[in-house]
Amino acid sequence: MRRHLLAAIFFAVFLAPAPGSEKPSQLKPFVRGSWQELLRSHAGRPTLVHFWGVTCGPCKVELPLLGKFMKEHANIDVVTISADLVPDLPGATRGMLEKSGLWPAENWIFSDGFVERLRFEIDPAWQGDIPRTLLIARDGTVTTIEGSAEIPDLEQWSAQQFAAK
């Protein structure tokens, strides 16, 4: 069962349309190993990974700003990961992503009750505070923004990615 699921995720990740394209997105279950798959699938592309949750107040303020950022930066892969502890809320998660204009992004949702393990794979020092944004440059360099990101900082990072080309 688990192997099938992983295979399914593998296919989904590798055959998914380029993030930001017109095709409607889906909510992918984020399980053990998903982080490495995600990194592999975006290797060589500037990628913004945003961790958030449906009950997080600051996240509600930030999501629409990120939706706007994504719309204006088609050359950045935008990935969201709902990192709340209980994953049985795909409806609420989808609703907030749609409202923020982020549904066309690549969207994941924590789907393992053992969240310490999921977080450990992403960043062993991360204790679960959200929002949190990781900016992954083409060379794999990761910049971590704790808390709400400032859009001008994202703009600056985005400009650097293409200036360096």
Partner 1 sequence: MTDETRTGMQAMVRKSLLGTIALALGVLLGQTAASAQMSHQHASEAACDETVLRCASKVTPAFGPDGTLWLTWMAGGQISVASSKDAGRSFSNPVQVTREKLNLDWGPDARPKIVVEKNGGIALAFAIFRDKAFNGQALYTRSADGGRSFAALRPLTSNNESQRFEALGLDADGSVFAAWLDKRNRVPAKESGRKYDGAGLFFASSKDGGATYTEARLATDNTCECCRLGLAFAGPGRPVIVFRNIFEGGVRDHAIMTFSDLASPGDVRRVSRDDWQIAACPHHGPSLSISATGTYHVAWFTNGKARKGLFYARSQDEGRTFSDPLPIGRSDRNPARPYVLAGPRGTTMVWKEFDGEKTTVNVMTSRDDGKSWSKPSVVATTSDTSDHPLLVSDGQKTYLSWMTKADGYRLLPIGDES
The contact set with partner 1 (CB under 8 A) reads 1, 4-5, 7-9, 11-12, 15-16, 26-29, 31, 53-59, 85-88, 90, 92, 95, 109, 111-117, 120, 124-125, 127-132, 146-148
Minimum Å gap between C-beta 16 and partner 1 is: 7
Nearest alpha-carbon partner for 82 in 58, 64, 101, 55: 55
Minimum Å gap between C-beta 56 and partner 1 is: 5
HEC secondary structure over 131-149: CEEEEECCCCCEEEEECCC
Give the nearer residue to partner 1 in terms of CB position, either 27 or 78.
Answer: 27
d(CA 77, CA 70): 8
Give the nearer residue to partner 1 in terms of CB position, either 123 or 138.
Answer: 123
Minimum Å gap between C-beta 62 and partner 1 is: 8
Specify whether the CB–CB gap between 27 and 108 falls below 8 A: yes
